[in-house]
Structure 1
Amino acid sequence: MVRTVNGDWLIRARDGRLGVYAIRDEAVWCRAERRPGGDTWLPWRKVGGDQRLHPVLAVGHGADGYAHLVSWRPTKAQEAGLVHSTHFRVHLAALDWSPVGHPDKAGARTGTPAVAVDAEGRAHVFVRNRGGSVRALIQKERGGWNAWADLKGTDVHEQLTAVTGESGRIELYGSNQAGILRWRQEEAGAPLVPADSLPVRVEPGTLSALPTSKEHTTLFFADREGMLYAWRPGTEPTPLPAAAGPGPAALLRCTLEGHDCTLLAQRSASGRVAFAACPAEQESAGLWWTESGPQLPADTAVALAEDADGRVVAATVTPDGELRIARQKDEPGLALAAWQEV
């Protein structure tokens, strides 16, 4: 399996089951709990039919519990196009892949897509084009897609991070040599427009974002020296400890000992999973990494979610498709049971 998955690939579906998504053998695959909160999982199954795909996937998860999946497919020699599928139940078959076009009308793959789902259940797809600006594709409320919109931007790095706030409005983050770029919806259903940026040296591929209150989304990123930061627009970034490992941190807002908290997880330099937590929007209070579980191969993906019983669940998928789960125990704090291969 390949780690090029953008978004929350561990999700809780509408019926409460957890599901995971990954790429293998030019296809997207999914596994789901046999029952919500249970310890056994169904086998891997292919998602979206037999369409051959590039090794890249974006996952967006709506308030309705549905997953929206976006990937690239080869179309002809040296060219590709984006495809979309909706997964209504993680333990059942998803819709077949449907072509949705190319940000430059035609050509090679241009970047890793990002997808977010608004309060009305419409998918918003974002991707860099060959000129280095950002294009957006918005699903219509009654099916189909609107025309591509140009969100502008200059020399934008490949990774984009899209997030839906508690208001149901979408925000998009990207980066370039000048710093962090941000776009937002001023009202539900409206096109995204450029918003306040942050001039800071960003390590490409380290952005992740999370709604941390009704008013705010918090962006986490690493600088070129590997130090981690938290940023909410309108404030200065808060310095945190060094990132535990490469890539974006997995994020989850959860309740720990009665407190509203932000939980982070990364595969650490030692190969184990590292966790850190702090009160939501109080990153300056400090956070510290604690490692857990066995050593894992490079390019192992890490994700966080809450199960049907409100327990924190951490998941890892290794490059060869081994899925491990650690679930919160009924104890104070973030006490996880032993990691289990499922």
Structure 2
Amino acid sequence: MNGDWLLLGRDGRLSVYLPSDDAALWRAERTPAGPWEAPRRIGGDQELRPGLSVGRGPDGYAHLVAWRPTGTDRSGLVHTTHFRPLLAPLDWQPAGHPNKQGDRTGTPAVAVDAQGRAHVFVRNGGGGMSMVAQKEKGGWDPWRDLKGRGVQEEPAAVTGESGRVEVYAAVTGGIRHWYQEKPGARPVLGEAVDASVRPGSLRALATSAERTTVFFTDADSGELCAWRPGDKPVPLVTAAGPGPVAAVRCVIDGHDCTLVAQRSTDTGRVVFAAYPSEQEVMGAQWTESGPALPADALVSLALDADERLVAATLCPSTGELRLTRRKDEPGLALGPWQAV
């Protein structure tokens, strides 16, 4: 799974998007903060390959992108839009291939701009970054080669508060950044930073009105680090697990804070750490919550319709989904974890 899979719909209900064998599933709240619907398959019987990517637009619509097999050693990207949690998503529609044809080239990432257009990023067959964007009135623009070399799996796409789309990718010896200079423009290569990046550990978040931050785990030190173009990477806390952190901005005791969460390899429990947004130099500490979870457990964070923090865990091996909500009291106190 690439991106946040716990999302708030425009009608105030939460949805979760789940990879399942050769398909994608979704579940939704029947009422805000109420009981949940049973899982449903997205897009009928169409077979998918591993590597589901999910993004949410400012309009509250969810966009999903995945690879599907199109023949022997052939794959193509497909996309669907989910408008409201209690309505079925649209059918999967072809989005093409960065090299026109061929097999899967990498895990896609998707971000949605201020006009509600999905931008899909994926490594191409030459090891660079390619992108395709939706047209305003339907269909797709041509694929664009954004250049770069040595791009690794699972880039991290993000939409800034300005509505401009950005993407980060681990490359050989560091991280590269692509950004839009103005809304709707072709993303251009921005700054690069030297870093030893643990594979599959990138997660990006809009952390202020003008800037985004990418979180990654340093492969040498094991520290969770934050980087914003124009600055140097800053270590925040020792990473608790191998994959990317979940991240969200929320107000804690009147302060704009960034909250990160991850499954701890040591205890199997979810750990949380919060700090004032873009003030990583202050450091952070992990706090454990909930029961011990299987090693494949995923973690996601979101704010509900009342801007209350919600944390979710999903265990693909068991299908169990658990949620907790922040209590209405000072600090970051969470309620009991509930299976849904």
Structure 1 residue corresponding to 2:272, chosen from 269, 275, 278: 275
Matches of 2:29 and 2:331, distance apart in 1: 25
Q: 2:99 aligns with which of 104, 107, 111?
A: 104
Partner of 1:177: 172
Corresponding position: 1:232 with 2:252: no
Match of 1:196 in 2: 191
Structure 2 runs not aligned, ≥5 long: none
Aligned Cα root-mean-square deviation (Å): 0.9
Q: Does 1:250 align with 2:246?
A: yes
Q: Distance in 1 between matches of 2:272 and 2:54?
A: 23
Moved over 6 A (4+): none
1:1-342 to 2 correspondence within 5 Å? 5-38=1-34, 40-225=35-220, 226-269=222-265, 270-319=267-316, 320-342=318-340
Q: Supply the AA of the counterpart residue of 2:269.
A: R
Q: 1:46 Cα deviation (Å)?
A: 1.0
* Distance in 2 between residues matched to 1:177 and 1:106, nearest whole Å: 25
Write the distance in 2 (CA, Å) between the matches of 1:110 and 1:36: 39
Shift of 1:267: 0.6
Partners in 2 of 1:22 and 1:55 — Cα distance?
11
* TM-score, normalising length: structure 2: 0.97
Q: CA deviation at 1:37?
A: 2.4
Q: Per-residue displacement from partner, 1:175-204 (whole Å, max 9, x unpaired)?
A: 112211000000000000000111111112
> Which amino acid is 1:279 matched to?
P
Please give the TM-score of this superposition, normalised by the length of structure 1.
0.97
Amino acid at match of 1:172: V
Q: What is the alpha-carbon distance in structure 1 between the residues aligned to residue 311 and residue 193 of structure 2?
A: 31
Task: Report if the CA contact (8 A) 1:37-1:309 is conserved.
Answer: no
Q: Deviations over 1:144-178 (max 9, x none)?
A: 00100001111111110000000000111001122
**Distance in 2 (alpha carbons) for counterparts of 1:101 and 1:137:** 9
Residue 108 of structure 1 and its aligned partner are, at CA, apart by 1.0
Q: Which amino acid aligns with 1:341?
A: A
1:218 offset after TM fit, Å? 1.1
Amino acid across the alignment from 2:195: V
How many residues were matched structurally?
A: 337
CA distances 1:298-319 after superposition (whole Å, capped 9, x unpaired): 1211000011122110001102
**How far apart are 1:232 and its partner, in Å?**
1.3
| Amino acid across the alignment from 1:286 | G
Instruction: After superposing the two structures, state which structure 1 stretch, 186-195 or 291-300, moved more.
Output: 291-300
Whether contact under 8 Å (1:241, 1:287) holds in the other structure is yes
**Cα distance, 1:55 vs. partner?**
2.2
TM-aligned CA deviation for residue 92 of structure 1: 1.4
Counterpart secondary structure, 2:214: strand
SS at match of 1:144: coil
- 1:155 and 1:219 map into 2 onto residues whose CA distance is 18
* Deviation, structure 1 residue 279: 0.6
Deviation by residue 1:84-137 (Cα, 9 ceiling, x = unmatched): 000001221010001111111111111100000000000000000121111100
| Alignment deviations for residues 10-36 of structure 1 (CA, whole Å, 9 cap, x no partner) | 000110111000111311100111111
CA distance in 1, matches of 2:21, 2:133: 29
Q: Hey, what's the Cα distance between the residues in 1 that align with 2:150 and 2:73?
A: 22
- Asked whether the equivalents of residues 210 and 219 of structure 1 are also in contact (C-alpha less than 8 Å), the reply is yes
For structure 1, the 5+ residue unaligned runs are none
